[in-house]
């Protein structure tokens, strides 16, 4: 039941991670939003993710995973029921901030819960868990494009209903409470922050999330600006990127049984730089789909593997350490979204140039991973 609860929470997070990129074309058309305003909306979601990830670690370490997961799922359900009632840029931003709060809580809670399931093979466990993130990310744009005729209102209500069911399951599922003396102690924060590895791992997630969520939030709009129909662009996002994440995590979960996590992460960063650059330079729908799929495979292992590396280094205050690293990732989302939106300005066709932030960040990841291996 614990594994099922963690899987459902990560699946829900995968669905809401793909939500903004899926509904943004519809919202932009309905409220005449510019790419710069879209960047601000993405920033507000990232701000919610940052605040939640920082705050939920101590909550989980003291009160247990269930308290965090139930709170996060409740916030997501509320945000998704309110989002269709948006009246403009301000209300969309507010509801995406609320959605970010809920998402930040459940991604920390679910990964912390899964980290306790198998301490000897955390990398494998977390990659297998996070393949359901890829499945959720695949489902949102696919359902929107092929079943709901790109109707953002019905999509929000559908995902809200699925989240509400998941919330009920988490409420009735027995979960272990906080571990006696291993909870959050304010005086112990210095010992967590004193380890240089935490800062490198946090920087790695900062760069990685800037890349991954950059694809989720902006790829469909970029493809539409290149002349692709919206339904085709959303299918490339789902059957290309999300499917690549899903398949990649299945494969890497087995590779991690024999290959060190640091080596897997380094290889992923190198492949990310190449595939995302190809993704932006390609000019045909077919090659775009292949490039996006390969970019998804390249990115697949990074997030769960880095979280496993954090848990391996911090046997006490694990959720707090993971929360710090995850918060750094959401800061990467906030920064990259503002940069991408500002570069694109009011012209969607300039997204092709703005999205070069993604292969650039991937190249920096290679250097950070090499520094981490030296510790």
pLDDT for res 315: 65
pLDDT for res 205: 93
Question: Mean pLDDT of all residues in the chain?
Answer: 84
Do 328 and 202 meet the contact criterion of CB atoms below 8 Å apart? yes
Question: What is the distance between the alpha carbons of residues 266 and 249, in angstroms, rounded to a whole number?
Answer: 15
How much is the pTM? 0.73
Whether 129 shows a pLDDT value over 70: the answer reads yes
Q: Which domains does the chain have, with CATH numbers?
A: 2-174+189-373 (1.20.1250.20)
- Reported as a single tens digit per residue, the pLDDT across 250-278 is 888 889 888 988 999 999 999 999 999 99
- Reported as a single tens digit per residue, the pLDDT across 332-358 is 877 887 888 888 877 777 888 899 999
Of 20, 237, 13, 273, give the one whose Cα is nearest residue 131: 13
Calculate helix-pair angle for 196-225, 302-313, nearest 10 degrees. Answer: 170
Whether 108 shows a pLDDT value over 90: the answer reads no
Do 65 and 113 meet the contact criterion of CB atoms below 8 Å apart? yes
More confident residue, 280 or 114: 280
CA atoms within 13 A of residue 358's CA, in its CB half-sphere: 32
Whether 102 shows a pLDDT value over 90: the answer reads yes
More confident residue, 189 or 122: 122
**Phi and psi based region of residue 88 (left: phi greater than 0; alpha: psi -120 to 50; beta: remaining):** left
3-class DSSP state of 341: helix
């Amino acid at each position: 039941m614990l594994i099922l609860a963690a899987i459902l929470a990560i699946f829900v997070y995968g669905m809401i991670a793909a939500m903004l990129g899926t509904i943004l074309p519809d919202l932009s058309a309905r409220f005449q939003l510019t790419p710069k305003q879209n960047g601000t909306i993405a920033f507000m979601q990232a701000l919610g993710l940052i605040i939640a990830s920082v705050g939920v670690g101590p909550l989980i370490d003291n009160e247990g995973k269930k308290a965090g997961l139930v709170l996060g799922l409740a916030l997501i359900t509320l945000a998704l029921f309110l989002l269709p009632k948006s009246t403009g840029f301000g209300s969309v931003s507010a509801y995406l901030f609320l959605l970010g709060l809920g998402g930040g809580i459940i991604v920390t809670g679910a990964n912390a819960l899964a980290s306790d399931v198998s301490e000897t093979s955390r990398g494998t466990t977390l990659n297998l868990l996070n393949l359901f993130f890829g499945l959720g990310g695949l489902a949102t744009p696919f359902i929107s494009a092929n079943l709901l005729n790109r109707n953002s209102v019905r999509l929000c209500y559908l995902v809200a209903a699925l989240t509400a069911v998941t919330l009920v399951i988490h409420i009735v599922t027995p979960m272990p409470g906080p571990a006696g003396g291993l909870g959050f102690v304010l005086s112990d924060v210095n010992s967590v922050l004193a380890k240089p590895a935490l800062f490198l791992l946090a920087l790695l997630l900062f760069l990685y999330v800037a890349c991954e969520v950059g694809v989720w939030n902006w790829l469909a709009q970029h493809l539409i600006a290149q002349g692709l129909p919206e339904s085709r662009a959303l299918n490339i996002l789902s059957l290309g990127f999300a499917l690549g994440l899903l398949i990649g995590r299945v494969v890497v979960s087995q590779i991690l049984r024999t290959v060190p996590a640091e080596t897997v992460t380094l290889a992923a960063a190198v492949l990310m730089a190449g595939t995302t650059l190809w993704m932006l330079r390609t000019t045909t729908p077919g090659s775009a789909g292949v490039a996006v799929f390969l970019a998804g495979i390249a990115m697949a292992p990074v997030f769960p593997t880095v979280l496993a590396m954090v848990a391996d280094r911090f046997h006490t205050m694990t959720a707090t350490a993971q929360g710090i690293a995850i918060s750094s990732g959401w800061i990467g989302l906030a920064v990259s979204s503002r940069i991408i939106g500002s570069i694109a300005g009011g012209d969607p066709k300039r997204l092709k140039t703005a999205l070069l932030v993604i292969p650039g960040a991937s190249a920096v990841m290679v250097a950070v991973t090499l520094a981490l291996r030296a510790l």
